[in-house]
Amino acid sequence: MQIAHRTHRTADVLDLVGQFNFGARKDFTAALDKLKQGHSTHILFNVKQVTFVDSAAIGLLALAAQQFKGQNRRLGIVGAQGTVKQVFDLAHIGKLIPLFLTEDAALNAKAA
Amino acid sequence: MKPDIPATAPATHAPPSTATILLVDDEPVSRLSMAARLKRMGLRVLEASNGKDGLEILRRERPDLTILDWIIPEMDGPTVCEQVRLDPDILSSQIILMTSHDQPEQIAEGLARGADDFLSKSASKQEILARVQSGLRAASLLQSIERTRDQLREKQEQLEAELRSAAKYMQSLLPVAGEIAPGIQMSWTYRPSLALGGDLFHCTQWSDQSILFYMLDASGHGVAPALRAASLSTFLRPDNLRHYMTTCNPADMLAEANHQYPLTEDGSYFTIWVGCYDCRTRLLSYSTAGHGGALIQRRIGTVEWLTHAHLPLGFEPDSTYESVTIEIEPGDRVLLMSDGIYEAPAATGEIWGPQRLTAALETHRTSPLGTVLPSLMAEAERWHGAPIFPDDAALLGLEFRS
């Protein structure tokens, strides 16, 4: 999986591209570690170009949710569709990290 | 006369002074002269006067380096080289081919037929000895690589033996198919993606009147998920669960398991479906933590999925779980499965999916339970196009008779 970092308004955005599975663990963790030092209000995982997610990806997202829980920063998953969204829904990952259609929708959403 | 090059070179991979050299030359004077020079370097020297004897000694003694004359009786030098390269036991032998004809074409032919280096008979003493040193260094490196390879093979064999042993243990945790309670038939099929899988399932009596059954899926594949799955399976034994609860209550079991098995540092976790069936009331209570693979096929053929969205185990320390209760009719079948079945991908990447699985189930509705599960596995395999799926694939089926 390829991971690219950019900013959008007040958010750090990680663009995830390809297969989000156990093989992405190191890169995903490293990308998260970099974001921990930042001060953005939101951290968004844009999964629009993710073609596959497996159980390991769910675990990594859950870890991310735990790691940022104590900080005053909101996490969001953006652009999940098709099978990827089905897997997220089945694991109920939205309960930990809300799912949004767009990055602006994520930034405009009120805190839960 | 210039002194011989010393036997001990300062290079990192200096050959051992006890190295053995095989000298194959039919000219006694030339052979004796070369042998004497090599012995002065502290090397052990073996001698042969023809190719056939040379090859025999090479096979028997495995010298570190062979110096081979091109023209020798019985079998010429290049043919000896070819024979050596065809024999897996000695193919890495270092060979210097020697001849009085040192035309480029001949050098190329000698190297092409298996020699490692080439030496003209008119070469100076220094050049000969330098090439011997070079050949011995190469031999030393090759031997070091071969030793490492052998050690790796040995370790690999040990690991594989341990994996086979662990897989056998995991198999021992699986239930024995058959009638698990009066009127309840159970069957299963399982195909781990590696030697060790992270899926486990079981079906056991909680009491005389109720049975407990579950399917759990540890994220990931291999040894660590298998060990974690075995640990959770042990936790789910009725004699252990009775330390935490008095009744067979799936929601309570998952709440307790959620405390016991938090998300690990590397993001490993479980999904699980647990059911308790009361034989007197014919009621099935179930609860799930992120596991979508459970359905009931009613006697009349309709299929209902027994799932609801919930976080997997360990994601939130204070998660509570909901038990759903349904009535079981005679002839109904409950199937639990891991996602490796319905998420089996075709070559195009498209997954088999719950809908195709349901359709396949419909096709086999009248078949005995014991043949339905392998048939479903076979259909998933046909879709995937290979016998091993990318994820563990498990199916557990219960048929409730009157």
Q: Write down the domain spans for chain A.
A: 2-111
Report, as ranges of residue numbers, the positions in chain B whose pLDDT lies below 50. Answer: 1-13
Query: Cα distance from A94 to chain B (closest Cα, Å)?
Result: 9
Judged on CB neighbours under 10 Å (0-12, 13-18, 19+), B396 is: buried
Residue B239: partners with Cβ closer than 8 Å, 6 or more residues away: none
pLDDT (0 to 100) of residue A112: 55
Tell whether A96 is within 8 A of chain B (Cβ). Answer: yes
**Please, where are the H alpha helices in B206-270?**
223-235, 238-241, 250-260
pLDDT (0 to 100) of residue B212: 97
Q: Which long-range contacts (CB under 8 A, 24 or more apart) does A78-81 make?
A: A78/A13, A78/A44, A78/A45, A78/A46, A78/A47, A78/A48, A78/A102, A78/A103, A78/A105, A78/A106, A79/A46, A79/A47, A79/A48, A79/A49, A80/A47, A80/A48, A80/A50, A81/A48
Cross-chain Cβ contact A25/B266 below 8 Å? yes
Query: Cα distance from B157 to chain A (closest Cα, Å)?
Result: 26
Tell whether A17 is within 8 A of chain B (Cβ). Answer: no
pLDDT digits 0-9 by tens, B314-356: 998 888 999 999 999 999 999 999 888 888 888 887 888 888 9
Tell whether A25 is within 8 A of chain B (Cβ). Answer: yes
Which of A49-63, A78-92, B11-25 bottoms out in mean pLDDT, i.e. has the lowest? B11-25
Model pTM above 0.80: no
pLDDT digits 0-9 by tens, A19-33: 998 888 899 999 999
Mutation target to probe the B interface, by most B beta carbons within 10 A, among A90, A93, A96, A99 is A90
Q: B-chain residues within 8 Å CB-CB of A60?
A: 267
| Interface A-B: count of C-beta contacts within 8 A | 57
Cross-chain Cβ contact B290/A96 below 8 Å? no
Query: Cα distance from A61 to chain B (closest Cα, Å)?
Result: 8
Tell whether A63 is within 8 A of chain B (Cβ). Answer: yes
Structure tokens at B350: 């498209």
Instruction: Judge whether A60 and A29 are in contact, CB under 8 Å.
Output: yes
Cross-chain Cβ contact A59/B219 below 8 Å? yes
pLDDT (0 to 100) of residue A23: 84
Q: Provide CATH code, domain A2-111.
A: 3.30.750.24
Q: What is the ipTM of this complex?
A: 0.81
Q: Closest to B315 (Cβ–Cβ): which among A22, A55, A62?
A: A62
In chain A, the residue whose alpha carbon lies closest to the alpha carbon of B265 is: A63
Question: Which residues partner with B304 through β-bridges?
Answer: B296
pLDDT (0 to 100) of residue B398: 97
Cross-chain Cβ contact A90/B292 below 8 Å? yes
